[in-house]
Structure 1
Amino acid sequence: MGKAVINAAEAAGVHVVPVSFGCEEESGKTLQIGEKEFLVHGPSDRESVLASVLDKYPNLIVVDYTVPSAVNGNAELYSKVGVPFVMGTTGGDRDLLHKTVEDSKIYAVISPQMGKQVVAFLAAMEIMAEQFPGAFSGYSLQVLESHQASKVDASGTAKAVISCFNKLGVSFDMDQIKLIRDPRQQLEMVGVPEEHLSGHAFHMYHLTSPDDTVTFEFQHNVCGRSIYAEGTVDAVLFLAKKIEEKDHKRVYNMIDVLREGNMR
């Protein structure tokens, strides 16, 4: 995701600061992405490095695509240093995440889903759930989601869609999600193109009426990472505008970005 965001940002004319953060094992490594060389800093010096980068680039906005276990610690770091950020990482303690950021009064866009079109679909689901509660009462639900093997947690988007179905009257627990992470199953059962096994998101929501005479299917398949990278850059540009305007609201999501318009 980092490489995809860098490429999308440079294509949009956004200046990318060649600094990255990773685990201790990656500390000191350099990554060549395009014409820039990125130095990776480990956890031990990330606070001092981030503070110095912010001092050099006062308009800095951090983009966070890490792992669920890093979500809350990273948010605490950004809040302590006072740097605005865009976070597309899923998982972690989401309530604590929002509280940490809101208490610090820094600006942030936080969304487990950065794909603009997928966010629009999710927003439509939320509107349906709000306006037609119980519309699918009695229906059974099957949820299958396939992601690259490196994604350890269930999709935040799938969880959000399921919450909408719960409001629509469907009984379904999050632990019933069928997670597909095995490449062979992804090829043979899900139909993921082989070239996208390392980066994809295929979601299927299948509803069946109590008497098995009616079915509904909602599906969105994403190959690659460009949809998320482009949405991330839009979120960065959106956040920069809000900071410049000194907007009273500080914490946003991708629906806020969509509503603003002016996307590339």
Structure 2
Amino acid sequence: MGVNIVVLGAKGRMGNMLVNMTLADEELNLVGACERKGNTDGMVYEDCEISDCLEDLLPKVPGAVIIDFTSPESSVAMAETAAKFGNPAVIGTTGLDKDQQAALAESAKKTPLFWAPNMSVGVNMLLKFMPQLVQALGGAYDMEIVETHHRMKKDSPSGTALKLAQCLAEARGWEYDDVKKHCRDGIIGERPKNEIGVQTLRGGDVVGEHTMYFFGPGERIEVTHRAHSRETFAAGALRAAKWLSGQKAGRLYSMADVF
């Protein structure tokens, strides 16, 4: 039978990749593709509903898992619609603020929802194991992150950088909002001990690169993750969709639950 999939933003860079990878996967069925109004021309897939309105589409594909890599506002609205019709949804959108994340958690009480700012296996393994390194190094090491993405990326710092920084802060027993430093300029004085800097680079067509620095006495440790293709994010989302299809509503799931 396979898991039925609906791709939101199907003509975008990530959406198009998700469509093609779904069609190539024997365990998945592309049953729906949704785009914004006036942008569905040329979208023809066998046995697949095409629509520019998710509310019109979902009654035709009950139980299908929605995959969404659009925008914070669109993803929150999508989650509310998914909850209305009982469709599970995988969300890979970045840049969601706390209120938007809370809105997703509320919708997750009514239908299975999954959200991860980075779907790659490598990044999620770092999130699992980095706390051990932080705790082993101890407080003598200053922690910083530099993230690099393509020039078209709209949010800064990246959702992945924020997730990694929050992971490091938690390992030190800090509240991230109390120690974050996203920009430095002018005469800033000495670096506080309880601080995590996250700096942003934008340019070209870089898919995504994150380096965590641990500056200690007489040495420096660097841990870098580089995404070579968006395919790694699409593969993670499809893996999450397969897993989510068998879950129940109740809370907002993450990649840690899949692993």
TM-score bucket (shorter structure): 0.7 to 0.9
- Find the residue that maps to 2:151 and give its secondary structure: coil
**Regions of 4+ moved over 6 Å:** 33-38
Which residue is equivalent to 2:143? 141
Let me know the Cα RMSD of the aligned residues.
2.8
Which residue is equivalent to 1:156? 159
Which residue is equivalent to 1:216? 221
Q: How does 1:175-214 map to 2 (within 5 A)?
A: 175=183, 176-183=197-204, 197=205, 200-209=207-216, 211=217, 213-214=218-219
Q: How does 1:32-47 map to 2 (within 5 A)?
A: 32=43, 39=50, 41=52, 45-47=53-55
- Find the residue that maps to 2:106 and give its secondary structure: helix
Does structure 1 residue 229 correspond to structure 2 residue 234?
Answer: yes
Contact 1:158 1:203 in 2 (8 A): yes
Which residue is equivalent to 2:31? 17
> 1:127 deviation in Å?
5.2
Which residue is equivalent to 1:64? 68
Contact 1:72 1:93 in 2 (8 A): no
Higher strand share goes to which structure? 2
- Find the residue that maps to 1:29 and give its secondary structure: coil
Q: TM-score of the superposition, structure 2-length normalised?
A: 0.75
Which residue is equivalent to 2:189? none
- Of 81, 102, 105, which residue of structure 2 is paired with 1:99? 105
Contact 1:109 1:252 in 2 (8 A): yes
Does structure 1 residue 84 correspond to structure 2 residue 88?
Answer: yes
Read off the aligned partner of 1:87 and give its amino acid letter. Answer: I
- Find the residue that maps to 2:221 and give its secondary structure: strand
Q: TM-score of the superposition, structure 1-length normalised?
A: 0.73
- Give the distance between the partners of 2:151 and 2:120, measured in 1 at CA: 20
Contact 1:30 1:38 in 2 (8 A): no
- Find the residue that maps to 2:246 and give its secondary structure: helix
Unaligned 5+ residue runs, structure 1?
184-196, 259-264
Number of aligned pairs? 224
Unaligned 5+ residue runs, structure 2?
1-13, 184-196
- Of all paired residues, the percent bearing the same amino acid is 24
Label 1:29 to 1:21 Cα distance change in 2 as closer, same or farther (>3 A): closer
- Give the distance between the partners of 2:68 and 2:102, measured in 1 at CA: 17
Does structure 1 residue 173 correspond to structure 2 residue 209?
Answer: no
Read off the aligned partner of 1:151 and give its amino acid letter. Answer: K
Per-residue CA deviations over 1:211-255 (Å, capped at 9, x if unaligned) read: 4x121101011111111111111111111122xxxx475532111
- Give the distance between the partners of 1:215 and 1:33, measured in 2 at CA: 53
